[in-house]
Structure 1
Amino acid sequence: MEYEAVSDEEDDALSAWAQTGEENVEGTLRPRKLDEFVGQPRVREQLELVLESARRRGVPPDHVLLSGPPGLGKTSMAMIVAAELGAAIRITSGPALERAGDLAAMLSNLAAGDVLFIDEIHRIARPAEEMLYLAMEDFRVDVVVGKGPGATSIPLEIAPFTLVGATTRSGSLTGPLRDRFGFTGQMEFYTDAELELVVRRAATILDIPIDRDGCAEIAGRSRGTPRIANRLLRRVRDYAEVRADGKVTREIAQAALAVYDVDELGLDRLDRAVLTALTRSFGGGPVGISTLAVAVGEEATTVEEVCEPYLVRAGMLARTPRGRVATATAWEHLGMVPPADLPVRPDQGGPALFEQD
């Protein structure tokens, strides 16, 4: 899977992307079986039926596509598929498959029943993707030898396998590739109750003493994402060991997360800066994304891809045809009184200002 570089800034704590140096910890915390996996009950039930049916028939299951935001367990689910089938797993990523030859070499080394996991499969190069079509359908690849008019296509049989693809942008997948997956699982954000179970399980594995209230405090600030919950748990543990007796309680969790600028709703410094700029500098909006990014001293892509998804989901920011708008929830979270003429959503009797752009 892909890991992004990490700076020393505090707001890395709330990044849903895996960060460099977390490989070993994440590997330790990954569930090994479907019954150990917390959350995603719908996907787990559907996948259990697919795998059990394949086991009874003695054939590899249909190819599996897992889609959803980062940090929800797509890689863990892929590894569980292999474990449930008792098969080996080969792991790669879409950006790593730049040439068809790279994919052909990997496919030719698969044994019967193996699982091939391609993370961020929507970023696979077009030549490799076209080779993948034939491999997924007929378990065969055509290797081209030579160049120009003398080039020859040699068919190469490969062992039956199961492809598990993961994507954070299912809309970026081409139609022909998407249609070749027999099962598609849409991973959803976790509830606070599910995240409490995630935190408690991780604390048990990492031998971190924590009480129920401490679990709830961390879960409530984790943006519905297990990866963030596990990361916050480790940072709270560090605080508890250095400045307390080592046990994580609600009070210790609150104090620790205040140090890392994570507030009670899971907003960090940059999230609050965006909302503050919207409300104080632009009267709540609407304002363009470029102008908003300049106001907070960040790149427009950072604001749009890092901050906006959670702020929109939390009901604090709306993307409109005229620009970004702070909602009443955002004003109240900042301790400010919303303007009397603040527009409301159409389903609340207001104008159609909140239509997505």
Structure 2
Amino acid sequence: MTAESLVNPIATAEERDAEASVRPKRLAEFVAQERVREQLEVLLHSALRRGTPPDHILFSGSPGLGKTTLAMIVAAELGGGLRMTSGPAIERSGDLAAVLTSLQAGDVLFIDEIHRIAKPAEELLYSAMEDFRVDVIVGKGPGATAIPLDVEPFTLVGATTRSGLLTGPMRDRFGFVGHLEFYSGHELAALLMRSARILGVPVEQDGIVEIAGRSRGTPRIANRLLRRVRDFAELRADGVVTLATAQAALKVYDVDAIGLDRLDKAVLMALVSSFGGGPVGVSTLAVAVGEQPDTVAEVCEPFLVRAGLLARTPRGRVATPAAWRHLGLIPPPSANGIFSGGVGAAPDLFTADDEADDRP
């Protein structure tokens, strides 16, 4: 397994089973996201007392923070069935109509990456969310007729990693919007202790803290790193996840002290060595490391920006002085000048439009 696969893997059946086993089943078991958890508890329990479906729910946030898990918890708390699909899978309005008309009263419909749903299906979803009704078009041209079909009262749970791409009418139809934040080291350590108990992995506190500190604030990555460290401990140590074992295992998997993997470091090294620290467009940067632009922009870049190692600017990506130092290099005076507000400093450097790059 490569370092990249720890961040964005194609999960095997065994991996999926392991992930499913450590997922919280109820709100009381869900670690962190305290504000969203409290708001969700009020929303769901008040709806249960009234005997009506709660308002539709939208979860936003980066991949791996628990949006799918919370959708499953919503269904469990309401005691209803759960139907799961994704925006890209719904290409035609008829696909969505078939799903909606098969729902039972009180069911939860979860649509992942809902911002990628096709426009005709999105328009069909409006009436289903508001009136629990869909209009199915039969025939074509002047002879086409709309047949209204009733839909059982249900709760839609949408998840998105790009909430800015949701249309206004879609966003307005959600009665509750919860934004999931990255986890702190303390929260990840608590989550990993729980996962270790479920998986039967012997651990020491300092080993868990080490894994938590390299997990990018993301539970999905933390649990995967725990399983890889477990494998290393069983094969090359005494089976116990200690500080030394965790450090040795993560070195094997090219995960450094702050969570950067081989691809992250390749992007930073290309930026500083080949392009003098930037600015450079993400497409050019992707070619330099032999990856697709979307991989660099969606897998590597968000964490590098959050870690203060890379900045988006109107002219392209720029390595911060911290990036040079993390690679063991001395930042040039030009880099220090840009980030200290000196001559030539780019205005509004860290708040430039995320889409201001040379991607097609």
Instruction: State the TM bucket, normalised to the shorter chain.
Output: over 0.9
Decide whether aligned partners of structure 1 residues 18 and 28 sit closer, same or farther in structure 2, where only a CA change above 3 A counts.
farther
Structure 2 partner of 1:5: none
Structure 1 partner of 2:346: 352
Q: 2:257 aligns with which of 256, 264, 268?
A: 264
Structure 2 partner of 1:254: 247
Distance 2:338 2:198 in 1: 45
Q: Secondary structure at the match of 1:66?
A: strand
Runs of 4+ in 1 over 4 A off after TM superposition: none
Q: CA offsets per residue over residues 51-94 of structure 1, 9 Å max, x none? A: 11111111100000001111000000001111111111111111
Distance 1:203 1:132 in 2: 41
TM-score by length of 2: 0.92
TM-score by length of 1: 0.93
Q: 1:19 aligns with which of 11, 21, 39?
A: 11
How many pairs were matched up? 348
Structure 2 partner of 1:342: 335
> Does residue 218 of structure 1 match 2:211?
yes
Aligned pairs (5 A) from 1:1-357: 8-15=1-8, 19-21=11-13, 22-343=15-336, 349-350=341-342, 351-353=345-347, 354-355=349-350, 356=352, 357=356
Unaligned stretches of 5+ in structure 2? none
Distance 1:46 1:345 in 2: 42
| Alpha-carbon shift at residue 147 of structure 1 (Å) | 2.3
Decide whether aligned partners of structure 1 residues 172 and 244 sit closer, same or farther in structure 2, where only a CA change above 3 A counts.
same
Q: Match of 1:275, as an amino acid?
A: L
My pick for the range that moved more, 128-137 or 279-288, is 279-288
Q: Match of 2:346, as an amino acid?
A: A
Unaligned stretches of 5+ in structure 1? 1-7
Q: CA offsets per residue over residues 297-338 of structure 1, 9 Å max, x none? A: 223332222211111110001111222211111111111222
User: Residues 64 and 218 of structure 2 are in contact (CA less than 8 Å); yes or no, is this contact kept in structure 1?
Assistant: yes
Distance 1:238 1:113 in 2: 42
Distance 2:177 2:322 in 1: 35
Decide whether aligned partners of structure 1 residues 99 and 286 sit closer, same or farther in structure 2, where only a CA change above 3 A counts.
closer
Q: Secondary structure at the match of 2:333?
A: coil
Distance 2:327 2:24 in 1: 38
Distance 1:98 1:43 in 2: 31
Q: CA offsets per residue over residues 20-39 of structure 1, 9 Å max, x none? A: 43322221111011110011
